[in-house]
């Protein structure tokens, strides 16, 4: 069973010196200096401490730039702290609630420091599975490998005895521990470190933002969570801050390019507590890297400047409507409010919905313009682990992860990498069948990793059918490199995702060969082909909206007025004919 570990880390890379600040001579000594700082060494950052040390930055961490108010809680997880006083679900964050001394020690906290009961509850109610750092690293590497045109740019992935980990590279004298930008070879021809900083990347449904920054492993369960060392961090923003640190010398130069790194990173999240944690993680990643390079903390003004960028770029949004949660055209709670984002190169503020390139009518906001060539934000990559399903009482849970994949594709980035259940490969139902057909027919999927056992990726889970993650490459047009993981064993093939005479994805190549032979048996004509079993059965909801267990959904029976002129249907409930 895989576990991320940082016990076998290589020697930290040289983060670069400074021509105006005395810095410890050795990288490890400089890194240890940071661990004496209460923020650098803390996984669970206390809101009361942040507010006291950086009051201006803290205001930005709570701000919703779209509405001019604070962000919304959008969760009931905290209503039991003071029953009768907190009615938080639809309310906005209040500073006094967050910084009260009796609550600050055990209020909003990262998932990895919560109890197992709290973690399981969140997973069940919101279909959340938190992504281990080693998985985030693999997906982030897929994006960077495509841009650089080669593997092992920032680290080398390892798997020893079932333990998934990584080691930072390059190390040694040749490149002095710095990331190399190829000037003449491969896809990376002519690209500079400044070009890398300017790449616009986004994490969807970001939770605590593990794909952007990796201060800690959000999925760690058993061991006490600790702050991951700077040299081993793997987030997309971590990588940019590493490059900035390696290629700048003065505080002013570092801060200039650190701001550009933050301005080129976006994320959105529905739940307010997760959004606040994500914002805190980004802000204090800047704090960590600044301390690591200059052996002192950034100023309150610098923290406020970075926090303001974060408040625009890491925003609260309902992905189904591209709007502030609980707002829609017919029943606005806080107004009919589309989420706004900022294009930092032009200074313009635009709606996120305007970035979506869709020819379909938007039922929530039919008058909103679609993406045009004039739209400034050009996404290089979109990455993440979207929520998998929407829980419905007494019936089948509705899958929703495919909506996030379609949303990402509609933004037309160069690359997409997402992890999701593998059920799409065979699932029935109109939506999932259509989604599967889109994937199987799309030749831009160039890499697909498929895990038969979800527990190998997400410890303690049992996701039927397993999970998978992919890379979608806008410039690719051809076969897909498909890797099937069965425990620690894996099989890699280069193949078409679509198999002739099959409307599902066939995971095992030998099964595809068997199907081919069965289909060709005796070379029957189209008229004489025997019926296959899938043509003789129906899925669970053959009639839209009517589930097989609809009796229990509304009590023993529904009012007769709903069945006027209806066709009578007989079935069985509690072993009786009804």
| Percent of the chain at pLDDT exceeding 70 | 67
CA dist 505 and 424 (Å) reads 8
483 three-state secondary structure: strand
Six token digits for residue 50: 């942040």
Q: How far is CA 545 from the centre of its chain?
A: 30
- Reply yes or no on whether the pLDDT at 462 is more than 70: yes
Summarised one tens digit per residue, pLDDT across range 369-418 is: 444 444 578 999 999 999 988 754 444 568 899 999 999 999 999 999 99
Taking a C-beta distance cutoff of 8 angstroms, is the pair 125, 391 a contact?
A: yes
Task: Out of 16-30, 249-263, 356-370, 493-507, pick the least confident.
Answer: 16-30
* Nearest of 205, 201, 167, 130 to residue 461 by alpha carbon: 130
User: Is the Cα torsion angle 247, 252, 255, 259 positive or negative in sign?
Assistant: negative
- Reply yes or no on whether the pLDDT at 573 is more than 60: yes
Higher-pLDDT residue of 34 and 401 is 401
Q: Rounded to the nearest 5°, which phi and psi values hold at 514?
A: -65, -45
Average of pLDDT values for 67-93?
A: 73
Phi-psi region of 489 (alpha: psi -120 to 50; beta: other; left: phi over 0): beta
Predicted local distance difference test score (pLDDT) of residue 10: 31
Predicted local distance difference test score (pLDDT) of residue 410: 92
- Reply yes or no on whether the pLDDT at 2 is more than 60: no
Q: What is the mean pLDDT of the chain?
A: 78
Taking a C-beta distance cutoff of 8 angstroms, is the pair 163, 2 a contact?
A: yes
- Reply yes or no on whether the pLDDT at 138 is more than 50: yes
Predicted local distance difference test score (pLDDT) of residue 84: 54
Six token digits for residue 119: 């973690």
Element (H, E) at 341: strand 340-343
Predicted local distance difference test score (pLDDT) of residue 521: 66
Higher-pLDDT residue of 6 and 541 is 541
Average of pLDDT values for 81-89?
A: 58
Task: Out of 137-151, 210-224, 237-251, 290-304, pick the least confident.
Answer: 210-224
Rounded to the nearest 10°, the torsion over CA 367, 474, 237, 57 is -10
Predicted local distance difference test score (pLDDT) of residue 369: 47
Place of tokens 């030749």: 443
Average of pLDDT values for 146-163?
A: 88
Average of pLDDT values for 104-111?
A: 68
Average of pLDDT values for 503-528?
A: 71
Predicted local distance difference test score (pLDDT) of residue 500: 77
- Reply yes or no on whether the pLDDT at 434 is more than 50: yes
Higher-pLDDT residue of 328 and 442 is 442
Predicted local distance difference test score (pLDDT) of residue 566: 67
pLDDT band of 444, cuts 50, 70, 90: very high
- Reply yes or no on whether the pLDDT at 97 is more than 80: no
- Reply yes or no on whether the pLDDT at 309 is more than 80: yes
- Reply yes or no on whether the pLDDT at 509 is more than 90: no
Higher-pLDDT residue of 191 and 315 is 315
Predicted local distance difference test score (pLDDT) of residue 395: 46
Average of pLDDT values for 71-89?
A: 68
């Amino acid at each position: 069973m895989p576990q991320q570990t940082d016990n076998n880390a290589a020697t930290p890379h040289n983060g670069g010196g400074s021509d105006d600040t005395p810095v410890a001579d050795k990288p490890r000594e400089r890194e240890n200096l940071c661990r004496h700082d209460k923020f650098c060494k803390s996984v669970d950052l206390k809101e009361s401490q942040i507010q006291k040390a950086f009051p201006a930055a803290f205001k930005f961490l709570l701000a919703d730039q779209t509405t001019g108010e604070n962000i919304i809680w959008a969760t009931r997880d905290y209503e039991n702290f003071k029953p009768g006083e907190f009615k938080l679900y639809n309310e906005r964050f209040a500073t006094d609630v967050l910084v009260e001394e009796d609550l600050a020690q055990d209020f909003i906290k990262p998932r990895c420091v919560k109890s197992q009961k709290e973690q399981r509850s969140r997973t069940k109610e919101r279909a959340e599975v938190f992504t281990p750092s080693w998985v985030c690293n693999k997906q982030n590497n897929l994006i960077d490998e495509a841009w650089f045109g080669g593997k092992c740019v920032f680290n080398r992935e390892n798997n020893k005895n079932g333990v998934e980990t990584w080691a930072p590279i390059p190390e040694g004298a040749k490149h002095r521990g710095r990331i190399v930008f190829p000037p003449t070879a491969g896809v990376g021809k002519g690209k500079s470190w400044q070009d890398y900083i300017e790449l616009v990347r986004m994490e969807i449904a970001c939770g605590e933002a593990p794909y952007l920054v990796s201060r800690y492993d959000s999925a760690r369960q058993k061991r006490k969570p600790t702050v991951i060392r700077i040299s081993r961090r793997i987030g997309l923003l971590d990588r940019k801050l590493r490059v900035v640190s390696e290629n700048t010398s003065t505080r002013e130069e570092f801060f200039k390019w650190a701001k550009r790194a933050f301005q080129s990173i976006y994320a959105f999240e529905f739940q307010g507590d997760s959004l606040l944690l994500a914002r805190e993680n980004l802000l204090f990643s800047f704090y960590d890297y600044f301390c690591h390079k200059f052996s002192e903390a950034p100023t309150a003004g610098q923290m406020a400047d970075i926090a303001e960028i974060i408040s625009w770029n890491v925003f609260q949004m309902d992905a189904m409507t591209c709007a502030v949660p609980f707002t829609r055209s017919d029943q606005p709670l806080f107004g009919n409010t589309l989420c706004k984002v900022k294009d930092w190169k032009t200074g313009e503020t635009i709606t996120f919905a305007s970035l979506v390139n869709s020819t379909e009518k938007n039922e929530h906001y039919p008058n909103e313009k679609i993406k045009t060539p004039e739209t400034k934000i050009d996404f290089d990559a979109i990455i993440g682990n979207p929520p998998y399903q929407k829980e419905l009482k007494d019936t089948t849970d509705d899958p929703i992860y495919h909506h996030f994949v379609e949303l990402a594709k509609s933004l037309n980035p160069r690359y997409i990498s997402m992890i999701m259940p593998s059920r799409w490969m065979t699932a029935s139902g109109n939506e999932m069948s259509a989604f599967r057909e889109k994937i199987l027919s799309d030749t831009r999927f160039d890499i697909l990793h498929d895990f038969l056992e979800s527990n190998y990726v997400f410890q303690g889970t049992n996701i039927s059918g397993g999970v998978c993650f992919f890379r979608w490459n806008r410039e690719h047009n051809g076969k897909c490199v498909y890797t099937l993981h069965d425990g620690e064993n894996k099989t890699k093939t280069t193949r078409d995702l679509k198999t002739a005479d099959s409307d599902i994805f066939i995971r095992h190549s030998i099964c595809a060969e068997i199907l081919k032979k069965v289909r060709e048996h005796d070379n029957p004509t189209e008229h004489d082909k025997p019926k296959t079993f899938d043509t003789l059965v129906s899925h669970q909801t053959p009639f839209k909206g009517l589930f097989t267990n609809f009796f229990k959904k509304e009590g023993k029976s529904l009012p007769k007025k709903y069945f006027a002129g209806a066709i009578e249907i007989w079935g069985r409930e509690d072993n009786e004919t009804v």
